[in-house]
């Protein structure tokens, strides 16, 4: 049985189409070009695809049943002939595809030269193969090699996108060639675009928005299957944006195309601006007015006489305009609004006399660095002071005593020679301020006409000194299971930046050898507390707290004014002694941890002595239980042999925990034991 008829004459194209897919055919000597996505079929009189093809044709599908004879329309042997189909096409955005082959005898399928299906065997029954794969975006080449060796000959191959939403996660490509035309008579916009190359395309959706508003779908609920759409654009005189998006059969939508901008009909001008004012500033005049709806821009005109003629100074999209103006000379202004289509409003008018009555803007962002002996005050100047500064404008720095700016007690600061001023700000080095007290600064800007800005926002500064803060009071030391908690009363001095905790050891002569502050750690909740110490093992230490100011001044704990406390730690060590005989590799752990982010005491190890480690069946972590006076396992069974770390997430804060790590053999004996402790601090 033959499913299709093979002819060799090009004139028989219509008959071939009706017969099932052979669109064109030509002798081997004729050049045949098959337009994508048609298959180019080449017939060979051997099973090796060698030599000149006996026939080259264009097929719409690969679906052949040659029966027990050679293909019609071409002279081939009954057995041992071959056919090669190939095509190159654009797969759009690509995605998941399914390749399906059914053959008797041999078939191989290639994608871009890479074999994906291999049914290469002389068979007496139809062999089938389905392959799911992802094809990248763009153009790709498919090739199907078929060989009929002996017996019945048939070949079938299909490729199709997989469109299930759970499988196809690839968005289509955005449509190209998007264009539009707006008809002012009908107020409708005709939109057109190029067809997508997606094989699983369901259609298109058209969206519209106004300015930066969200996109709104205007093409209806069902995807469009045409390549054009006519929209009734709202006739508001506003500018609308359109874009088109492709939708595939999985329901996934592409990114938007390039935008088409449409301005609808609007022939009515805006209302006239109101409240036009003119403010003189040296050789400048600043015009301000109340804006109006529907205005796209404003035109500003000026004349030397009230009756004109008026000259267009310029346009602006804001409600303010700055223009050159002669000093102390009257000038006449008018402003009008224009909409997006250029429709104008009526004029609004005002007159300026050219007198500079405008003070500069106040300086901003005051900051200071208080040092011992001088204070550096910094500030920034808003934009618009360039011309004033370059023509003699300056700054004035003011100071009053105390934490509140007192206008009646202001002192003009004489800045040191190291001070500097620019059009965008400045720095003043004040060397005359009182030491060790509070002062408040403010800065003004002054233009060449003598107009002075308002005072800047005040800046309160505590000036520097060389005096260390006094000793702290109310020092208490409380032994705990996680160290010694130091607490004290807040210093009444106003320049304290932090507190330092010191640990010392009483010497035989009664003096104290101070060890430093490394053993004291702060937390996050109480600034007047420190937790000091390491393992609570009953030792006696001396502790002191000193206040340090922002200039680094602080008493030494040995100063007679400092009152230390002497405390004996708790002794929380286990009553059972365990011998440490771990000789299997490295071990690492912390002896003191704390902080809310930490989960608990941790240990890490590596078993590196191969002979001994090969006998280890697992690991056991045990923790000392003071109530039962025994080390108790923290887990059920043994940890696997590959384990190299463990964190005790059940450990309680505010105490010290003691642990053993044991490497256990299969017979239950212990290959090595490591003993350690961890102070799990509950830092305040």
Position 133 scores a pLDDT of 96
The residues, any chain, with a CB within 8 Å of residue 642's CB and separated by 6 or more, are: none
Q: Are 254 and 201 in contact (CB under 8 A)?
A: no
Position 10 scores a pLDDT of 33
Position 171 scores a pLDDT of 94
Position 4 scores a pLDDT of 41
Position 26 scores a pLDDT of 54
* Structure confidence by residue, pLDDT tens digits, 287-336: 999 999 989 999 999 999 999 999 999 999 999 999 999 888 999 999 99
Mean pLDDT of 222-234: 96
What is the spatial distance between Cα 622 and Cα 645, in angstroms, rounded to a whole number? 14
Q: What is the CATH number of domain 179-263?
A: 2.60.40.10
Tell me which of 3.30.1330.90, 3.20.20.140, 3.40.50.10420, 2.60.40.10 is the CATH number of domain 274-352.
Answer: 2.60.40.10
Using the predicted structure, report yes or no on whether residue 632 has a pLDDT greater than 50. yes
What is the spatial distance between Cα 289 and Cα 300, in angstroms, rounded to a whole number? 11
Position 25 scores a pLDDT of 52
Mean pLDDT of 634-639: 96
Mean pLDDT of 675-680: 94
What the block records as the tokens of 33 is 């070009």
* Structure confidence by residue, pLDDT tens digits, 491-509: 999 899 999 999 999 999 9
Ranges for all domains in the chain classified under CATH 2.60.40.10: 179-263, 274-352, 364-462, 476-568, 587-680
Torsion of CA 19, 20, 21, 25, to 10 degrees: -30
Q: Are 337 and 344 in contact (CB under 8 A)?
A: yes
Strands (E), 550-654: 565-568, 587-589, 592-593, 602-605, 616-625, 630-633, 645-647
What is the spatial distance between Cα 220 and Cα 241, in angstroms, rounded to a whole number? 17
Q: Which residue has the tokens 């690969």?
A: 62
Position 22 scores a pLDDT of 46
Q: Is the C-alpha dihedral spanning 638, 644, 649, 651 positive or negative?
A: positive
Report the CATH architecture of 587-680.
Sandwich (2.60)
- Specify the DSSP element, H or E, that contains 351: strand 348-352
Mean pLDDT of 650-674: 95
The mean pLDDT of the chain is: 91
Mean pLDDT of 632-661: 96
Q: 82 phi and psi, to 5 degrees?
A: -140, 155
Identify the band that residue 596 occupies on the pLDDT scale cut at 50, 70 and 90: confident
* Structure confidence by residue, pLDDT tens digits, 166-221: 999 999 999 999 999 999 999 999 999 999 999 999 999 999 999 899 999 999 99
What the block records as the tokens of 94 is 């690509």
Mean pLDDT of 627-654: 95
What is the spatial distance between Cα 259 and Cα 39, in angstroms, rounded to a whole number? 37
Mean pLDDT of 456-465: 96
Position 341 scores a pLDDT of 82
Using the predicted structure, report yes or no on whether residue 15 has a pLDDT greater than 60. no
Tell me which of 2.60.40.10, 3.40.50.300, 2.30.30.700, 3.90.1200.10 is the CATH number of domain 364-462.
Answer: 2.60.40.10
Position 684 scores a pLDDT of 63
Give percent of the chain with pLDDT exceeding 70: 95
Mean pLDDT of 149-160: 95
How buried is 608 (Cβ within 10 angstroms: 0-12 exposed, 13-18 middle, 19+ buried)?
exposed
Tell me which of 3.30.360.10, 1.10.3720.10, 2.60.120.260, 3.20.20.70 is the CATH number of domain 10-161.
Answer: 2.60.120.260
What the block records as the tokens of 162 is 């997989």
Position 306 scores a pLDDT of 94
Please state the separation of Cα 260 from the chain's center in Å: 30
Q: State pTM to two decimals.
A: 0.49
Tell me which of 2.60.40.10, 3.40.50.2300, 2.60.40.1180, 2.160.10.10 is the CATH number of domain 476-568.
Answer: 2.60.40.10
What is the spatial distance between Cα 285 and Cα 279, in angstroms, rounded to a whole number? 6
Please state the separation of Cα 223 from the chain's center in Å: 34
Would you say how long the chain is, in residues? Answer: 684
Ranges for all domains in the chain classified under CATH 2.60.120.260: 10-161
Position 533 scores a pLDDT of 81
Among 46-55, 61-70, 100-109, 446-455, the range scoring the smallest mean pLDDT is: 61-70
What is the spatial distance between Cα 659 and Cα 647, in angstroms, rounded to a whole number? 11
């Amino acid at each position: 049985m033959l499913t299709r008829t093979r002819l060799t004459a090009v004139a028989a194209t219509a008959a071939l189409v009706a017969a099932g897919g052979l669109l064109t055919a030509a002798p081997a000597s004729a050049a045949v070009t098959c337009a994508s996505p048609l298959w180019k079929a080449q017939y060979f009189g051997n099973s090796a695809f060698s030599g000149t093809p006996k026939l080259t044709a264009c097929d719409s599908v690969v679906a052949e049943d040659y029966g027990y004879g050679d293909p019609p329309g071409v002279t081939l042997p009954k057995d041992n002939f071959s056919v090669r189909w190939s095509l190159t096409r654009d797969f759009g955005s690509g995605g998941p595809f399914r390749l399906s082959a059914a053959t008797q005898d041999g078939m191989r399928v290639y994608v871009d030269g890479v074999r994906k299906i291999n049914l290469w065997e002389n068979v007496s029954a139809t062999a089938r193969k389905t392959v799911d794969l992802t094809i990248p975006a763009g153009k790709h080449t498919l090739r199907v090699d078929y060989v009929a060796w002996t017996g019945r000959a048939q070949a079938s191959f299909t490729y199709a996108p997989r469109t299930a939403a759970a499988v196809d996660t690839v968005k289509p490509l955005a449509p190209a060639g998007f264009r539009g035309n707006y008809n002012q008579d009908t107020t409708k916009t005709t939109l057109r675009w190029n067809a997508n190359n997606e094989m699983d395309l369901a259609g298109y959706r058209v969206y519209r928005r106004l300015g930066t508003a969200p996109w709104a779908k205007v093409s209806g609920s069902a995807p469009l299957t045409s390549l054009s759409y006519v929209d009734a654009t709202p006739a508001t005189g506003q500018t609308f944006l359109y874009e088109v998006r492709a939708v595939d059969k999985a329901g996934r939508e592409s990114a938007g195309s390039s935008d088409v901008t449409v301005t609808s009909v609007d022939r009515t001008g805006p209302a006239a601006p109101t409240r036009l004012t003119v403010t003189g500033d040296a050789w400048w005049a600043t015009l301000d007015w109340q804006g109006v709806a529907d205005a796209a821009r404003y035109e500003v005109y000026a004349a030397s006489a009230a009756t004109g003629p008026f000259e267009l100074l310029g346009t602006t999209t804001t409600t303010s305009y700055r223009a050159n103006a002669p000093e102390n000379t009257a000038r006449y202004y008018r402003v009008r609004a224009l909409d997006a289509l250029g429709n104008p409003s009526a004029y609004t008018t005002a007159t300026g006399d050219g007198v500079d009555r405008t003070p500069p803007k106040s300086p901003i962002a005051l900051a200071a660095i208080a040092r011992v002996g001088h204070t550096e005050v910094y500030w920034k100047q808003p934009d618009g002071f360039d011309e004033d500064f370059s023509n003699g404008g300056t700054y004035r720095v003011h100071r009053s005593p105390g934490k509140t700016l007192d206008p009646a007690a202001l002192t003009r600061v004489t800045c040191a020679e190291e001070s500097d001023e620019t059009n965008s700000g400045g720095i003043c080095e004040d060397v005359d301020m009182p030491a060790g007290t509070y002062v408040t600064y403010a800065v003004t800007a002054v233009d060449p006409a003598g107009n002075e800005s308002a005072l800047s926002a005040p800046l309160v500064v505590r000036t520097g000194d060389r005096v260390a803060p006094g000793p702290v009071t109310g020092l208490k030391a409380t032994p705990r299971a996680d160290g010694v908690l130091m607490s004290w009363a807040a210093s009444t001095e106003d320049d304290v930046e932090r507190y330092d905790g010191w640990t010392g050891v009483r010497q035989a002569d009664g003096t104290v050898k101070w060890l430093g502050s490394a053993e004291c750690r702060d937390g996050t909740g109480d600034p007047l507390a420190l937790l000091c110490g390491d393992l609570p093992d009953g030792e006696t230490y001396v502790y002191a707290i000193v206040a340090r100011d922002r200039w680094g001044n602080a008493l030494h704990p040995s100063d007679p004014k400092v009152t230390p406390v002497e405390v004996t730690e708790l002794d929380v060590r286990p009553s059972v002694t365990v011998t440490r005989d771990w000789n299997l590799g490295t071990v690492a752990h912390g002896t003191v941890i704390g902080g809310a982010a930490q989960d608990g005491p941790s240990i890490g190890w590596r078993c590196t002595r191969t002979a001994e480690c090969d006998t280890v069946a697992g690991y056991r972590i045990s923790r000392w239980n003071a109530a039962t006076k025994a080390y108790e396992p923290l887990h059920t069974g043994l940890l696997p042999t590959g384990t190299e770390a463990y964190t005790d997430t059940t450990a309680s804060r505010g105490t010290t925990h003691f642990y053993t790590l044991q490497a256990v053999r299969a017979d239950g004996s212990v290959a090595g034991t490591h003993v350690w402790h961890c102070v799990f601090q509950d830092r305040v």
